[in-house]
Amino acid sequence: MTSRLISWLTAFALFTSGKSLGARTWVVAPGTALSSINDAIARAKPYDTVLVRGGLYREAVVVDRPLTLRGEGRPVLDGEGLRQPVSIRASHVAVSGFRVVRSGSASLEDLAGIKVYNARYVYVFNNDLDSNFFGIYLSNSRLCWVTGNALRAYGEIEQTSGNGIHAWKCDSIFIADNRIRGHRDGIYFEFVTHSRIERNVSIHNVRYGLHFMFSHQDDYTHNTFMYNGAGVAVMYTREVLMRYNTFANNVGASAYGMLLKDIQRSEISDNVFYNNTVAIFMEGCTRSQLERNEFRHNGWAVRIHASCENNLFRHNNFIANTFEVTTNNQLSLNTFEQNYWDHYTGYDLNRDGIGDVPHLPVSLFAMISQQMPYAMMFWRSFGVLLLERAERAIPSLCPDNLRDRSPLMKPYHVAHSKHK
Amino acid sequence: MLKIARYALYDILRNRFVVAYGLFWVLVSMSFFNLESDPVKGMASLLNILLMALPLMSVVFASIHLYNSYEFMELVLAQPIRRSEVLLGQYSGVAGSLCASFGIGMGVPVLLYEGSLRGFLLVGCGLVLTLVFVSLAFLAAVLMRDKARGIGLALLIWFFCTILYDGLVLMGMFAFSDYPLERVILVLAFLNPVDLARIAMLLQLDAAALMGYTGALFHHFFGSALGIGLAVLLMAVWVVWPLLWALRIFQRKDL
């Protein structure tokens, strides 16, 4: 963590020091001698500033040298559905204060509102992006910041819309305080390592709010993912830290609060999962820890496949979910301990806050409705409740080694404050 | 008819059952809302109690009341009053008093703890189920001259609707699980008034889970104007046809 912090500080130091070496400011405004941003860039020396005044600019801006490109009065860069409004092909570049609209779209090339190619120390902040194919695209770059941008697109199907913030083969990037809406995937990472993603809000995207693959050792904190077509999907990754995020209202036949596929040695803690069809779906995950998460009002809180092993669920609160845990096998190689389950019917005679009989979070009807989905129509009917009780008393179909041997009697935070 | 309804109402209020019934619902709903930390959880538990207890109590109370007021009805029928007026008067007296005590007994706690659409839907479902089961009880009481058999039949109707029907459908579902049963199950669930009420609440309480697999068929159907219209229509049919049938028998019956 500290090494990462140091690299940020160096990045910032390098950037600001470059700026102070007697750099010039070129002012671009419509109707003046300097009315083209590209002309200004061509005249600028490295580490100069190009200040763009409010107005409409119909050009494909290409930044090919270290530069500060600053918009004042929200100048509009219009791609007219044909070109890429901003391409950054140099390191040490800052782009801020623009409104970037209508990038072109293509099947072969991923055109974006703002695209960064093979660069380092690029800062993209406080821009508005509207109706672009891809929003902000980082390709093979390191030590870049993307903060405080608002991205809006109006995608309806996956094939014709691009991702909001897309990073491919990057390292040590920082994505924070962005608002993304209506893209294909809100945030998409492929081969992105050692990065931090904080306080972003990704909502109403066509497919996933967050989607990453092969992106090791990244931290995701305080983000919000809501109303996305299929929730959040993270795959083929190890050593991820996800804390204090909110996954809410991802509802539909294939929507997940979070889908974890082949995730290893990761930590998923202190998150809130609210009103998702499936809060967490796990497949092929190993040696991860899920602690202090709150699962509330979900259809299925946790669906864990038999291919998962050595994962630890501890101190999570399961409240008012239709079903708590389901699995696809009798065998379970994961540990559940000291969680709070509101379906728990046991007792606590010695009053130590821990139930005296184990809790079996897998209910019979959850298993049945996995095989016969339409059986859901009889959920909460008296006959079904009788079946459930009978199964809990004498488990025959449910995996009885998937159990919490020390269920909490009260939700975790309550128990915690009591211990203090 | 109004006069007879009023007499029936006085009669019912005198034996204080209705007051106790209302208090029962106050007690049950207050305790569930207080016991459960999450109001949705409280509503779910309340729904379970409601689907069992409300039809049972309505059915038993209505059939006993009708048998007990047979002499009164015979006396009244000596006057120039139509038989249908007498029976409908009794029906409105019984159903009205049960609805009022349930509506107040459960409506007030729901208003206090969960003043939302789903709260009012729960109370609404209870009211409609009261109307349905009072009407079924009247049918049973009119069909059987013997009091014990009549109450027995009423209980059987209750048992069938709340427990047996779902059990049978579930058994059928397991037996034919190799076939696509979505539509069949949907139709079958629609034919039972208790299931109709339960599913209406399910859509409020377990929306996230329902949107899972069955989402497409299920949610679209119930969410659509057609689905809601059909559900309301079927409930109305469940109130009206047993009552009309009972009326037909009552009019021709040798008292």
- Residue B242 Cα to chain centre, angstroms: 12
Pairing assessment for the beta strands A86-88 and A174-176 based on DSSP bridges: unpaired
- CA–CA gap between residue A244 and residue B7 (Å, rounded): 64
Instruction: Examine residue A416 and state whether it is found in any structural domain, yes or no.
Output: no
Is the Cβ of A375 closer than 8 Å to some Cβ of chain B? yes
Nearest to A342 among B41, B173, B212 (CB): B41
> Could you tell me if A95 and A86 are in contact, meaning their C-beta atoms sit under 8 angstroms apart?
yes
Instruction: Examine residue A334 and state whether it is found in any structural domain, yes or no.
Output: no
Instruction: Examine residue A413 and state whether it is found in any structural domain, yes or no.
Output: no
Three-class secondary structure of residue A404 per DSSP: strand
Task: Please write the tens of the pLDDT for every residue from A16-51.
Answer: 554 555 789 999 999 999 999 999 999 999 999 999
Helices B147-159 + B117-143 axis angle, to 10: 140
State whether A377 and B206 contact (CB < 8 Å): no
- CA–CA gap between residue A97 and residue A69 (Å, rounded): 9
Name the residue among B44, B48, B35, B29 with its Cα closest to residue B203: B44
Cβ within 8 Å of residue A131, ≥6 positions away = A101, A102, A103, A152, A153, A154
Task: Tell me the chain B residues in contact with residue A275 when contact means C-beta distances shorter than 8 Å.
Answer: 207-208
Is the Cβ of A382 closer than 8 Å to some Cβ of chain B? yes
Helices B117-143 + B225-252 axis angle, to 10: 20
Which residues of B, range 182-211, sit inside 8 Å of A by Cβ? 182, 185-186, 189, 195, 198-199, 201-202, 205-211
Number of domains observed in the structure of chain A: 1
State whether A382 and B51 contact (CB < 8 Å): yes
The β-bridge partners of A96 are A70, A125
Residue A57 lies in domain:
1-229
> Could you tell me if A368 and A375 are in contact, meaning their C-beta atoms sit under 8 angstroms apart?
yes
Which residues of B, range 62-91, sit inside 8 Å of A by Cβ? none
- CA–CA gap between residue A381 and residue A364 (Å, rounded): 14
Task: Count CB pairs under 8 A between chains A and B.
Answer: 118
Q: Least CA distance to A296: which residue of chain B? A: B38
Task: Tell me the chain B residues in contact with residue A281 when contact means C-beta distances shorter than 8 Å.
Answer: none
- CA–CA gap between residue A376 and residue A393 (Å, rounded): 22
State whether A298 and B199 contact (CB < 8 Å): no
Is the Cβ of A296 closer than 8 Å to some Cβ of chain B? yes
Closest Cα of chain B to A365: distance in Å?
11
Q: What CATH number should be reported for the domain holding residue A196? A: 2.160.20.10
Closest Cα of chain A to B122: distance in Å?
14
**Nearest 5 degrees, angle CA A92-CA A95-CA A97?**
155
- Residue A374 Cα to chain centre, angstroms: 32
Three-class secondary structure of residue A237 per DSSP: strand
φ and ψ at B92, to 5 degrees? -70, -30
Per-residue pLDDT of chain B (255 residues; tens, 9 = 90+): 778 888 888 888 887 888 999 999 999 999 998 888 788 888 888 999 999 999 999 999 999 999 998 888 888 888 888 999 999 999 999 999 999 999 999 999 998 888 888 889 999 999 999 999 999 999 999 999 899 999 999 999 999 999 899 999 988 988 988 888 878 888 888 899 999 999 888 888 887 787 776 556 666 777 677 878 888 899 999 999 999 999 999 988 877
Instruction: Examine residue A167 and state whether it is found in any structural domain, yes or no.
Output: yes
Cβ within 8 Å of residue B81, ≥6 positions away = B4
Instruction: Examine residue A195 and state whether it is found in any structural domain, yes or no.
Output: yes
Task: Please write the tens of the pLDDT for every residue from A249-303.
Answer: 998 888 899 999 999 999 999 999 999 999 999 999 999 999 999 999 999 999 9
Q: Which helix (H) or strand (E) holds A6?
A: helix A2-19
φ and ψ at B190, to 5 degrees? -75, -20
Name the residue among A179, A236, A168, A223 with its Cα closest to residue A205: A179
Nearest to A320 among B41, B185, B210 (CB): B41
Name the residue among A202, A104, A203, A204 with its Cα closest to residue A160: A104
How many C-beta neighbours within 10 Å does residue A6 have?
A: 10
Which amino acid makes up residue A335? T
